[in-house]
Chain A
Amino acid sequence: MARIEIDGKTCEVNPNNNLLQECLSQGIDLPYFCWHPCMGSVGACRQCAVKVFKDKDDTRGTLVMACMTQAAEGTLVSVDDKQAADFRAGVIESLMISHPHDCPVCEEGGECHLQDMTLMSGHNYRRHDKKKVTFRNQYLGPHIGHEMNRCIACYRCVRYYDDYAGGNDLVVQASHNHVYFGRHQEGVLESEFSGNLVEVCPTGVFTDKTFSKHYTRKWDLQTAPSVCNHCAVGCNTTPGERYGTLRRVVNRYHAEINGYFICDRGRFAYDLVNGDRRVASSHEKGTDGNQELTGDQGSVKLRDLARGNTLAIGSPRAGMEANFALMRLVGRENFYSGISDKEAALLNTVLDVYDDSGIHCPSIHEIEAADAIIILGEDVTNIAPRIALALRQSVRNRSLEMAADSKIPSWQDAAVRELAQREKSPLYILNGYATRLDDIAAACHIDHPDRLAEFAAALAGAVDPAAPAPSVMMTAEQQQLLECIASDLIAAKRPLVIAGVSNEHEALLGAATNLARALGKKRNSESAGPVNMCCLVPEANSLGLAMLLRGSVNTLSAACERMKQGGNAIVLENDLYRRMTPVQVDESLSALETLVAIDHVHTPTVSRANIVLASTAFSEQQAVYVNYEGRAQISYQVHESQFHARPAWRWAAPGMKPDALIRECAANVAGLEKLVQVLPDTTGLVSGMKIPRQPPRYSGRTAMNASRYVHEPKQATDDSSPLNFSMEGIPLQKDSRFQQFTWAPRWNSNQSISKFQDEIAGELKQGQPGVNLLSGGGSFAYAVLPEQSGLDAAESDAAFQVIQAFHIFGSEELSAMSENIQARMPGPYAAMAPVDAARLEIGFGDFVDLRSGSVAVQLPVSLREKIKPGTVVVYGAGNEINRYELAATAQLSLGERQSNGGHLDALIVSDARVAGTGRTNRP
């Protein structure tokens, strides 16, 4: 720590930071635009000018940019200095020269950093009376709106999009006051993280187009602290509702997890809640049509069924409350896993490896600190997108080391990047096809997962000769790569192994865990602390369900065997057709007397049910999800459901409150003891008053239904959380557990978050929400690796080994039902190596007949450089091709169907024959 003096007041600051960051950390209002806590300083906007003085005798001082000046010991700073304040007023006057007077119709209005900074800098009246500069706007896809006339040229968009998120299709063009931030030509922004532009842009240039369609001011949104349910990362979000419809989702700061950014799937998939895929009523199917069920009737039906021969199938996309309530209803012996046996077994492997005391599962914040990384068989961008964004920061650690050696401060963003050029911390990607992170990888090794498993096992053997390593034939090139990876991982201070269950490949995950264990053992002998291993799991509560069923023999196939004997089944928020082959599902369900489906979306399983119970969507209920690291987090209800739906846990346990279920679950399920800690301590509530979900400026509460009827309805009550569906109550603004949006005097935009952090980009005041359920402390043992199946089939000419592909827009069940997401979803396709395609005389965009197992489909073909000849990458687009029907190999031949070329338009991969979208591939 260093001591500096700001306007005569002595402050303790971090001397490694710049003055702007430290002034903000001290709670001082110093305006800024181009600086961002995640992106450092570049000194472009000149808005944060302050005076520094050489010593106490220096009365003139020097004007400097706070963001570009080190907070060195003894610095004398004045923010209030007249000359500095005048200069800041001049800067804002310049910035506002061409800014339109459209605040009343601008989506940013009311949460606009530019509005805040304009007022803060003291610019009220316009002196400029010349012609304004105007621009033409671009179509940037279905998610992001573009209004360049509002631009103040702070360069944050391109610095975020290109430098931070690794995009390459948003650039700054032209010069002087014509600088233009857009694409070279109109088109969809390709980055999976483009939505953050909306929050990064300090004004309304980049806006959430989906929000604009049903726009509402920030202060008219009812919000609550929520957790994204579209992958297992568990990003914290703030969904906002008005008039019964969910209007948008924005990032909610969490220092350990998502920080300032979320992915486009998590941001834009919210419309599912409002959509026509919802189960709108609860009913029992009869011979003479559907019989509506009231809430009580439905619960009674469930209770009665539970007394008979009834099993229940849980869900990895439902929260802990719902799963436990159902387990409680039917009894543990009758509660079954709702995921494939293979996936369930692999999730147990994941829990085992996390128990190992030599292994630590890192948070995203910790992932960003990794200095050597290996990814084994996971397409991170498409499975756990936020982690991919973190890995882009991890590889920069090398450049930060270089900067430290050259005495360049880490916040000098442009200088650090310039110094390091292409030097990166090593990232190795071993996958079946090229991923969207290949551009930052030291090396990529493309092969079939069977071969990758052997490679990973050999790698573990190279780190620790005691690790089980089958003897594998390797080319000299592979051997060299192996040695290179091994030495980098061993030499690293914070190595990270990333694996997962996406491929349902036991040998690959086993070998990956052995690699982590080998590294952990080596580090243990050097007292270097545990090794980081991160296992990607597919759904929001995959790990929670696995923990609930840990040690149980109630697999999905066991459930099927039992269902085939008759009886009843209750399926919780789960489409069984995504979990096994249609034949297996049909055989099991047909034998049932009664099938109850509790769900909030229509699925093939729901359509098979005799009794359908409508449950609430994520924003309409309280739920605890356990993320990929074993961290349990509460997602609070945002608004009341507009459907006749109730939370799944309420169907199964009427009368129980969610916290009671969580308490009971923690008390009764081994390994979940710490779950109880996730519940909020409400003793801090002021006078026992609840916390309002609606901000103080919320308008029209008593009039919003007047168009339908004049009576003012009683406001809904919330008996299960400390929050209120109301403006009344006392907000716990300084308590991060209940902080659904941030606001501070003079700070109406999301930048106000700095008022609630211990230090800039640090922990939120009152600590971080969420509790890690895993205790560690387990014993060390290498996994025994299964025998690899033979690969003879691949050697015959027409047979290809099948590798499954994943997509951020489409692979996850719920988001794939969102129209916003569908606007960017690729359809099913097959991708193959150009040499194979040439051999079979298949061109880009042609349709092929693909036969594999019981699957026979025609698929458009994409040609990709980084696919191993002899393999075919198949993307099934969720339900369109059942992954469990695909065999290990497939036969391909040129199909008869004519292509119109448009089938691959939405496909964005990094190794298409011509870079960019599928379409540009066409010769």
Chain B
Amino acid sequence: MSRGPLDFSGYSGAGGYEGIRRIAAGKSPGDVLEDVKNSGLKGRGGAGFPTGLKWSFVPSGNDAPAQKYLVVNADEMEPGTFKDRLLMEGDPHLLIEGMIIAAYTIQASRAYIFLRGEYTVAAKALARALSEAENNGMLGKNIQGTGFDLDIILHTSAGRYICGEETALLNALEGKRGTPRAKPPFPQVSGLWGKPTIVNNVETLCNLPGILAHGVDWFKSLTLGQDHGTKLFGISGKVNKPGCWELPLGTTIREIIEVHGGGMRDGHTLRAFLPGGGSTDFMLPEYLDIPFDYDDVAKAGSRLATGTMILLDDKTCPVGMIGNLMHFFSHESCGWCTPCRDGLPWIDDIFRDLENGSGKAKDLGILHDHVEYLGPGRTFCALAPGAAAPLGSGLRIFKDEFDNHVRQGCAWKKH
């Protein structure tokens, strides 16, 4: 980050809060909803659900509950992911403006930012920006004469990965244990404190000011692929310039790695990569030329998810990499449902044994069993299926490595 966060005047001066001015000029909540629907904006948190469609499930009209909530999921804890952090540390007013637009659309008079506890720099930036926004009439009562009221409350999380799951987040926000809720009912119907609630990712909301200020067509024109708009893409791994960049959706993976990431470091060859964070399937270099957007990545057998890649090179043990992820997911299981609570620690134990050379052939069978056992629909939420993605694809792609680990432990350790 080359500069500190823009303050209110800096942000406004750069064209910020134009979206709010459009609303003040007479855009109704229905108009904004139509714009967002037409823009084709998809959620940037990982699941890629169309934002406008999600909002349209919130009850509106006279029969709707008076209290509704907007909650920002800023609990960015996906392994390899640091995109929301950049937005909040660098441009907190962008998020605030996005929140005002979203809250206005669903007519929520209170909004929460559920911020990852370790993001202390972002917390400071957001706290300052919130107070500036309030002092400049962007928050509080009757914002810019629209008759719309909004309070935003910044909540810093006590820190669990599972709290990034939107319903676990809501429980944590209510002061309860951070365990996910059954869906249905979805938060749009019964969310925070039982009231209709929209939970959106930071990056998703940061797209809104642009859509309002420059229009749907402009937003649609930004892309190179199927999905509209831009996306923050990131790389961690052995490239020359690891980092995070805003690029059109549909940019090829090769361009992101070779141009923006500066290519692999000398002596390192790309072996495989997790395209969208720790809970996506491994992809092989043969897919480097596909456009990086939701559908194309899905066709290649993985998920765009957060769009922040983790690269595996030829100098790193793939079993160790997966074991590291399994250790993380195992520790972060909330303990609610059986396959995740008791399955992941078993997997974690097996990886430790494989590493130490005390792994057995039957352990690989148990790992294979768990890929299906932890799959989608088996568990209460998406944590375990997320863990099963790198495990399942890894077992397939790195079969020889696993077999070697059973025979002799981790050969990489001797390097």
Contact of B177 among A90, A133, A172 (CB under 8 A): A172
- Given contacts A94-B339, A177-B333, A408-B184, list 14 more A-B pairs with CB under 8 A: A44-B336, A44-B338, A63-B378, A153-B341, A174-B335, A175-B162, A176-B344, A177-B341, A178-B335, A179-B341, A406-B189, A414-B181, A419-B190, A419-B194
Number of interface residues of A (CB under 8 A): 42
User: With an 8 A cutoff between CB atoms, is A697 at the interface?
Assistant: no
Task: Known A91-B339, A97-B342; judge A44-B380 contact (CB<8 A).
Answer: yes
User: With an 8 A cutoff between CB atoms, is A255 at the interface?
Assistant: no
User: With an 8 A cutoff between CB atoms, is A727 at the interface?
Assistant: no
Task: Known A131-B349, A175-B160, A179-B341; judge A153-B362 contact (CB<8 A).
Answer: no
User: With an 8 A cutoff between CB atoms, is A58 at the interface?
Assistant: no
Which residue on B lies nearest to A95, using beta carbons? B338
Contacts of A62 in B (CB 8 A): 377
Pairs across A and B, CB under 8 Å, 21 listed: A44-B337, A44-B338, A44-B380, A46-B338, A68-B182, A94-B339, A94-B346, A98-B342, A131-B349, A133-B345, A155-B336, A175-B333, A176-B330, A176-B344, A177-B335, A179-B335, A179-B341, A414-B181, A415-B182, A418-B181, A421-B194
Contacts of A127 in B (CB 8 A): 362, 366
Mask of A44-83 contacts with B, CB within 8 angstroms, 1/0: 1111010000000000001110001000000000000000
User: With an 8 A cutoff between CB atoms, is A43 at the interface?
Assistant: yes
Number of interface residues of B (CB under 8 A): 38
- Identify whether the interface residues of B are mostly helix, strand, loop, or mixed: helix
> Which residues of chain B from 137 to 164 have a CB within 8 Å of any chain A CB?
160, 162
Q: Is the CB of B373 within 8 A of A177?
A: no
Within the complex, what minimum Cβ distance (angstroms) separates B344 from chain A? 7
User: With an 8 A cutoff between CB atoms, is A633 at the interface?
Assistant: no
Expressed in whole angstroms, the Cα–Cα distance for A177 and B344 within the complex equals 9
Expressed in whole angstroms, the Cα–Cα distance for A358 and B139 within the complex equals 58
Q: Is the CB of A415 within 8 A of B185?
A: yes
User: With an 8 A cutoff between CB atoms, is A128 at the interface?
Assistant: yes
User: With an 8 A cutoff between CB atoms, is B193 at the interface?
Assistant: yes
Q: Is the CB of B194 within 8 A of A420?
A: yes
> Which residues of chain B from 377 to 409 have a CB within 8 Å of any chain A CB?
377-380
Contacts of A44 in B (CB 8 A): 336-338, 380
User: With an 8 A cutoff between CB atoms, is B217 at the interface?
Assistant: no
User: With an 8 A cutoff between CB atoms, is B332 at the interface?
Assistant: yes
User: With an 8 A cutoff between CB atoms, is B100 at the interface?
Assistant: no
Q: Is the CB of A177 within 8 A of B342?
A: yes
Expressed in whole angstroms, the Cα–Cα distance for A153 and B333 within the complex equals 13
A: residues with CB less than 8 A from B are: 42-47, 49, 62-64, 68, 87, 90-91, 94-95, 97-98, 127-128, 130-131, 133, 152-153, 155, 172, 174-179, 406, 408, 412, 414-415, 418-421
B: residues with CB less than 8 A from A are: 160, 162, 177, 181-182, 184-185, 189-190, 193-194, 330-339, 341-346, 349-350, 353, 362, 366, 369, 373, 377-380
Which residue on A lies nearest to B345, using beta carbons? A177
Within the complex, what minimum Cβ distance (angstroms) separates A113 from chain B? 15
Expressed in whole angstroms, the Cα–Cα distance for A45 and B339 within the complex equals 8
Contacts of A177 in B (CB 8 A): 333, 335, 341-342, 345
Within the complex, what minimum Cβ distance (angstroms) separates B43 from chain A? 22
Q: Is the CB of B341 within 8 A of A406?
A: no
Q: Is the CB of B182 within 8 A of A43?
A: yes
Task: Known A42-B182, A90-B373, A412-B182; judge A176-B341 contact (CB<8 A).
Answer: yes
Expressed in whole angstroms, the Cα–Cα distance for A127 and B334 within the complex equals 24
Expressed in whole angstroms, the Cα–Cα distance for A420 and B353 within the complex equals 48
Contacts of B331 in A (CB 8 A): 176
Interface centre among A43, A46, A174 (most CB of B within 10 A): A46
Contacts of B342 in A (CB 8 A): 94-95, 97-98, 177
Which residue on B lies nearest to A180, using beta carbons? B335
Q: Is the CB of A176 within 8 A of B337?
A: no
Interface centre among B330, B336, B373 (most CB of A within 10 A): B336
Within the complex, what minimum Cβ distance (angstroms) separates B383 from chain A? 10
Contacts of B353 in A (CB 8 A): 130
Contacts of A87 in B (CB 8 A): 373, 378
Q: Is the CB of B346 within 8 A of A128?
A: yes
Contacts of B373 in A (CB 8 A): 87, 90
Within the complex, what minimum Cβ distance (angstroms) separates B330 from chain A? 6
Expressed in whole angstroms, the Cα–Cα distance for A130 and B344 within the complex equals 13
Contacts of A47 in B (CB 8 A): 338
Contacts of B337 in A (CB 8 A): 43-46
Contacts of B190 in A (CB 8 A): 406, 408, 415, 418-419
Q: Is the CB of A414 within 8 A of B182?
A: yes
Interface centre among A87, A175, A415 (most CB of B within 10 A): A175
Contacts of B336 in A (CB 8 A): 44, 155
Contact of A176 among B177, B181, B333, B379 (CB under 8 A): B333
Expressed in whole angstroms, the Cα–Cα distance for A62 and B375 within the complex equals 12
Expressed in whole angstroms, the Cα–Cα distance for A12 and B334 within the complex equals 38
Interface centre among B162, B338, B378 (most CB of A within 10 A): B338
Within the complex, what minimum Cβ distance (angstroms) separates B285 from chain A? 33
Which residue on A lies nearest to B334, using beta carbons? A175
The 5 closest A-B pairs by CB, nearest first: A94-B342, A179-B335, A130-B349, A176-B333, A419-B194
Within the complex, what minimum Cβ distance (angstroms) separates A452 from chain B? 35
Expressed in whole angstroms, the Cα–Cα distance for A172 and B176 within the complex equals 11
Within the complex, what minimum Cβ distance (angstroms) separates A106 from chain B? 20
Expressed in whole angstroms, the Cα–Cα distance for A391 and B275 within the complex equals 54
Within the complex, what minimum Cβ distance (angstroms) separates A172 from chain B? 7
Expressed in whole angstroms, the Cα–Cα distance for A47 and B379 within the complex equals 11
Contacts of A414 in B (CB 8 A): 181-182
Which residue on B lies nearest to A402, using beta carbons? B194
Expressed in whole angstroms, the Cα–Cα distance for A179 and B333 within the complex equals 10
Q: Is the CB of A64 within 8 A of B177?
A: no
Q: Is the CB of A97 within 8 A of B377?
A: no
Q: Is the CB of A418 within 8 A of B338?
A: no
Contacts of A412 in B (CB 8 A): 182, 185
Within the complex, what minimum Cβ distance (angstroms) separates B325 from chain A? 15
Q: Is the CB of A97 within 8 A of B346?
A: yes
Contact of A421 among B162, B193, B332 (CB under 8 A): B193
Contacts of B362 in A (CB 8 A): 127
Q: Is the CB of B343 within 8 A of A94?
A: yes
Within the complex, what minimum Cβ distance (angstroms) separates A231 from chain B? 35
Expressed in whole angstroms, the Cα–Cα distance for A178 and B185 within the complex equals 29
Contacts of A175 in B (CB 8 A): 160, 162, 332-335
Expressed in whole angstroms, the Cα–Cα distance for A866 and B275 within the complex equals 61
Within the complex, what minimum Cβ distance (angstroms) separates B247 from chain A? 37
Q: Is the CB of A46 within 8 A of B378?
A: yes
Within the complex, what minimum Cβ distance (angstroms) separates A267 from chain B? 29
Contacts of B189 in A (CB 8 A): 406
Expressed in whole angstroms, the Cα–Cα distance for A406 and B195 within the complex equals 11
Expressed in whole angstroms, the Cα–Cα distance for A43 and B339 within the complex equals 12
Interface centre among A95, A418, A421 (most CB of B within 10 A): A418
